[in-house]
Amino acid sequence: MTAEGSETGSKLSGAVIPVKDNIPLDRFPLATVGLIVANIVVYLVAGSSAARTLTVGTVFASMFVHSSVVQLIGNVWFLWLFGTTLEDSMGPIRFLGFYIAGGLVALGVVLAIDPGASTPTVGAAGAVAAVLAGYLLLYPRARVLALVIIVFFFGVMEIPTLVMVGAWVVMQAAFAAAGLIGDGGFAYLSYIGGFLFGLAVIRLLVTRRKPIPPTAAAYR
């Protein structure tokens, strides 16, 4: 094998898998897990065929409908990474209301700009954007713990929260470019709406701000 081939093989043999943030939980994230399960169940039952005609019911349902398994995994993964700690900071009921309101605001932005839209933006990204915004405002210096697997090496590394949020933005841009989430331009506007909503209301809902551990040694 050439040096170039050896280098390529080394790159392909490694993986970095984000698992959780570095803030320990005080209670089981019931609402976050429930939302993840709901997204998965709706995808398995309805696939991408729901929420294609705009009604009150489908506006709500569109937050749980995904056009592909890749889009589903991306959204629920980031919901898990950031939603668990945010739920721990405000309680499950408030977090559930915050998540749903963020999704509705994101969809409302699309309808406000284009009242004649016949289909809503599909996916949980608007609600997840609200979660990311709330998390960034409360815990800007937090880290995401990731498993690093490279051949025979196994370890844990810390990834800055801003880097993970940037990865989410790139992922959503890829989904929009691929036509997986409705009209790309409106999709971006819905994310901005959800993000701004998260920034605006998070401090009103949080009952406690959790301390951030100084190292990656924090495990539940």
SS3 for the chain is CCHHHHHHHHHHCEEEEEEEECCCCCCCCHHHHHHHHHHHHHHHHHCCCCCCCCCHHHHHHHHHCCCCHHHHHHHHHHHHHHHHHHHHHHCHHHHHHHHHHHHHHHHHHHHHHCCCCCCCCCCCHHHHHHHHHHHHHHCCCCEEEEEEEECCEEEEEEEEHHHHHHHHHHHHHHHHHCCCCCCHHHHHHHHHHHHHHHHHHHHHHCCCCCCCCCCCCCCC
In a domain, 218, yes or no: no
- Between helix 92-113 and helix 30-46 the angle, nearest 10°, is 50
13 pLDDT higher than 90: no
In a domain, 152, yes or no: no
- How many structural domains compose the chain? 1
In a domain, 213, yes or no: no
What pLDDT is recorded for position 51?
47
What pLDDT is recorded for position 155?
82
What pLDDT is recorded for position 122?
59
217 pLDDT higher than 80: no
What pLDDT is recorded for position 158?
92
What pLDDT is recorded for position 4?
44
186 pLDDT higher than 70: no
- Between helix 125-138 and helix 69-90 the angle, nearest 10°, is 40
What pLDDT is recorded for position 219?
40
In a domain, 104, yes or no: yes
What pLDDT is recorded for position 5?
44
In a domain, 144, yes or no: no
Residue 203, C-beta contacts closer than 8 angstroms, at least 6 positions apart:
137
In a domain, 56, yes or no: yes
Q: What mean pLDDT value characterizes the chain?
A: 80
Which CATH number does the domain housing residue 98 bear?
A: 1.20.1540.10
Residue with tokens 């993986």: 15
Q: Which residue has the higher pLDDT, 214 or 118?
A: 214
The average pLDDT across 133-147 equals 93
Specify whether the CB–CB gap between 145 and 216 falls below 8 A. yes
Q: For residue 64, give its domain range.
A: 30-136+163-205
**pLDDT (tens digit, 9 = 90+) per residue, 49-82?**
554 554 555 667 777 877 778 888 888 999 999 9
Q: Which residue has the higher pLDDT, 60 or 207?
A: 207
Residue with tokens 């709901």: 38
In a domain, 41, yes or no: yes
The one-letter amino acid at 220: R
How far is the C-alpha of 82 from the C-alpha of 210, rounded, in Å? Answer: 13
Q: Where residue 2 falls among pLDDT bands split at 50, 70, 90?
A: very low
In a domain, 181, yes or no: yes
Q: Where residue 149 falls among pLDDT bands split at 50, 70, 90?
A: confident
